[in-house]
Amino acid sequence: MEALARGLDAALRGRRVVAARTYSPATVQGSVPLDAAVGAVVEGVERRGKLIVMRLGPRLTLVTHLMQAGRLGLASPPSGSRPPRRACAGLELDDGREVRLRELSTTHRAWMRLVEGPPEDDPAVAALGPEPLGLTADGWRRALTEPPGVLHTALRQGRRVAGVGRCYASEIMWAARLAPLARTDRLDDAAWQRLATAADRVLADAVEREERTVTTDLPDKHTRVTAVHGHHGEPCLRCGTALARVGFRDYELVYCPACQTDGKRYSDRRMDRLLR
* Chain residues in the site for Zn ion (CB under 5 A): 236, 238-239, 241, 256, 258-259
Q: How far is the CB of 56 from Zn ion (least distance, A)?
A: 48
Q: How far is the CB of 172 from Zn ion (least distance, A)?
A: 15
Nearer to Zn ion, 75 or 259 (CB): 259
Nearer to Zn ion, 126 or 237 (CB): 237
Nearer to Zn ion, 158 or 257 (CB): 257
Q: How far is the CB of 158 from Zn ion (least distance, A)?
A: 29
Nearer to Zn ion, 27 or 170 (CB): 170
φ, ψ dihedrals at 175, nearest 5° = -60, -30
Q: How far is the CB of 232 from Zn ion (least distance, A)?
A: 13
User: Which residue has its beta carbon closest to Zn ion?
Assistant: 236
Nearer to Zn ion, 209 or 238 (CB): 238
Q: Residue 252: how many CA atoms within 13 Å on its side-chain side? A: 15
Nearer to Zn ion, 38 or 239 (CB): 239
Cβ proximity of 113 and 37 under 8 Å? no
Q: How far is the CB of 191 from Zn ion (least distance, A)?
A: 16
Q: How far is the CB of 239 from Zn ion (least distance, A)?
A: 3
* Residue 221: C-alpha distances to residues 7, 218, 226 (Å): 22, 9, 12
